[in-house]
Amino acid sequence: MKTPSPFHTIIEPFRIKSVEPVKFTTPEERAAKLAAAGWNPFLLRAEDVLIDLLTDSGTGAMSKHQWAGMMRGDESYAGAESFYRFEAAVRDITGLRHVLPTHQGRAAERILFTTVLKPGDIVPNNTHFDTTRANIEARGAIALDLPVPEARQPRLRAPFKGNIDLAALERCLAENPGRVPLAMITVTNNSGGGQPVSLANLRGAREICARHGVPLFLDCCRFAENAWFIKQREVGYADRSPLAIAREMFACVDGATMSAKKDGMANIGGFLALNDEMWTTRAKNNLILTEGFPTYGGLAGYDLEAIAVGFYEALDEDYLRYRIRSIEYLGDLLVKNGVPIIEPTGGHAVYLDARQLLPHVPGSEFPAWALSCALYLAGGVRGVEIGSVMFGRQPDGTEKPPAMELVRLAFPRRVYTQSHVDYLGEVLLHVHGRREKIRGLRMTQAPEVLRHFTARFEPIAPRLFA
């Protein structure tokens, strides 16, 4: 048992060995850059962004142990040592038998879904992430979101708002025999606010799925952050290590898709892990078609090494305490000042509630998108819209208002410091103070799928801040 520290400040549990300069721009420069990017923050050059919270995916800083691991990367085409180290780490944490490396999470999704789905099938999940949904719909199948009702109430403080609605899952499986090849649970629930899923909920889902003979998979991108929340919030887990908790989470499932760009602490990579022999054989053939030989799956040997080290660093208690606290710190400041966010704060991001913040901007004028543009204009901060642009368009081409209009400010791992977060807080309060001036946008150009990446817009009024 460690002696508790008498000091309360939670510091970054690292010091900095290599720095990346950031560039300062003026509001006028930013207005010109955003207009040239078609009012789509995805189309900005990263160097024109001061604090980049577009995503926590692949944007983290690696440790010296990861860099050292990369030096011993074995680049053999087949059977490289690096693969066996990667496989051993994934098996150790997940307990799953077969491990297929992929270049990132969506490759694992595509391989899994092309292997097991046919048109008309249904895949329930607490909430599908956009790439998961798109890969399911690309197979002609239905991606069904079954979050618990409290997930839809941004202000409601509940410990596990990422949970899947077990009664709805039971109904879905009972009403659709033979149409549900697998069910999924996303930890943490990214599109629902980065909220965690409890072990009780995972066990409940496992029991229901087992009774209906349906395999259960985890979308486990942020498994370590989820394990930390279980340690903090679920009765009986305070003294368990994040690793032990993660193992219990994986013990509930038959397979997992992973983007190692999140809790793999790496800049690229992922995996599909599963127990079923027949699915594995077919998935491997699929993998060879597009990713590469099954012992590298689209990654370099050195990537496999960085990830094998990263999984354990993501489970480190000092790291998790600092990570979750820095997000909560920003959240506390915003709540204290009346800025509407999803409460409590989640694992990797703060989610601003744009519907609440900009009640004068109708859904058809993309309030969350407008808010994300306002943050860039005001302070060079880049977040991502999770609202009508990302999720409003239905597979049949019609528009439907999404459950929430959010701007996600996702924190890259081990990248920004306390003063960056303080600056961010100032920018957010400044924009909040001028919220009544913010006007909406119209979409001038958009592709059919995943339109948020490349759509172009223009402000309805001559200026975004009227």
Binding site for ligand F0G (CB under 6 A): 55, 57, 104-106, 129, 131-132, 186, 190, 219, 221, 259, 261, 270, 410
Residue carrying structure tokens 């929430």: 404
The answer to whether 114 touches 120, Cβ cutoff 8 Å, is no
Whichever of 31 and 450 has its CB closer to ligand F0G, that residue is: 450
- Minimum distance between the CB of residue 106 and ligand F0G, rounded to whole angstroms? 3
- Minimum distance between the CB of residue 34 and ligand F0G, rounded to whole angstroms? 20
The residue number whose beta carbon is nearest to ligand F0G equals 105
- Minimum distance between the CB of residue 326 and ligand F0G, rounded to whole angstroms? 18
- Minimum distance between the CB of residue 152 and ligand F0G, rounded to whole angstroms? 18
d(CA 63, CA 60): 10
- Minimum distance between the CB of residue 466 and ligand F0G, rounded to whole angstroms? 30
3-class SS shares of the chain: helix, strand, coil, % to 5: 45, 15, 40
Whichever of 190 and 345 has its CB closer to ligand F0G, that residue is: 190
Whichever of 259 and 345 has its CB closer to ligand F0G, that residue is: 259
User: Quick check: helix, strand or coil at residue 447?
Assistant: coil
User: Quick check: helix, strand or coil at residue 393?
Assistant: strand
- Minimum distance between the CB of residue 448 and ligand F0G, rounded to whole angstroms? 19
Give the chain's end-to-end CA distance (angstroms, integer). 58
User: Quick check: helix, strand or coil at residue 248?
Assistant: helix
Burial class (CB in 10 A: 0-12, 13-18, 19+), 99: buried
Whichever of 271 and 366 has its CB closer to ligand F0G, that residue is: 271
- Minimum distance between the CB of residue 219 and ligand F0G, rounded to whole angstroms? 5
Rounded to 5 degrees, φ, ψ at 50 are -85, -55
- Minimum distance between the CB of residue 108 and ligand F0G, rounded to whole angstroms? 8
The string over 274-286, giving b where at least 16 C-beta atoms fall within 10 Å of a residue's C-beta and e elsewhere, is bebeebbeebbeb
d(CA 69, CA 399): 48
Whichever of 259 and 280 has its CB closer to ligand F0G, that residue is: 259
Residue 56 neighbours by CB distance under 10 Å: 27
Whichever of 66 and 132 has its CB closer to ligand F0G, that residue is: 132
The string over 112-146, giving b where at least 16 C-beta atoms fall within 10 Å of a residue's C-beta and e elsewhere, is bbbbbbeeebbbbbbbbbbbbbbbbbebebbbbbb
Whichever of 385 and 405 has its CB closer to ligand F0G, that residue is: 385
Distance of alpha carbon 315 from the chain centroid = 17
Q: How would DSSP label each residue in 175-201?
A: HSTTS-S-EEEESSBGGGTSB---HHH
Whichever of 272 and 438 has its CB closer to ligand F0G, that residue is: 272
- Minimum distance between the CB of residue 263 and ligand F0G, rounded to whole angstroms? 10
Q: Which residues neighbour 21 within 8 Å (Cβ) at sequence distance 6 or greater?
A: none
- Minimum distance between the CB of residue 346 and ligand F0G, rounded to whole angstroms? 12
Whichever of 83 and 411 has its CB closer to ligand F0G, that residue is: 411
User: Quick check: helix, strand or coil at residue 71?
Assistant: helix
Q: Which residues neighbour 197 within 8 Å (Cβ) at sequence distance 6 or greater?
A: 126, 160, 162, 163, 164, 185, 186, 187, 188, 189, 226
The answer to whether 55 touches 452, Cβ cutoff 8 Å, is no
| CA-closest candidate to residue 181, choices 256, 257, 122 | 122
Whichever of 260 and 361 has its CB closer to ligand F0G, that residue is: 260
Q: How many CA atoms lie within 13 A of 117 on its CB side?
A: 25
- Minimum distance between the CB of residue 122 and ligand F0G, rounded to whole angstroms? 18
CA distances from 190 to 89, 161, 428 (A): 24, 11, 21
Whichever of 261 and 284 has its CB closer to ligand F0G, that residue is: 261
- Minimum distance between the CB of residue 371 and ligand F0G, rounded to whole angstroms? 17
**What's the alpha-carbon Rg for the chain, to the nearest Å?**
22
Whichever of 190 and 388 has its CB closer to ligand F0G, that residue is: 190
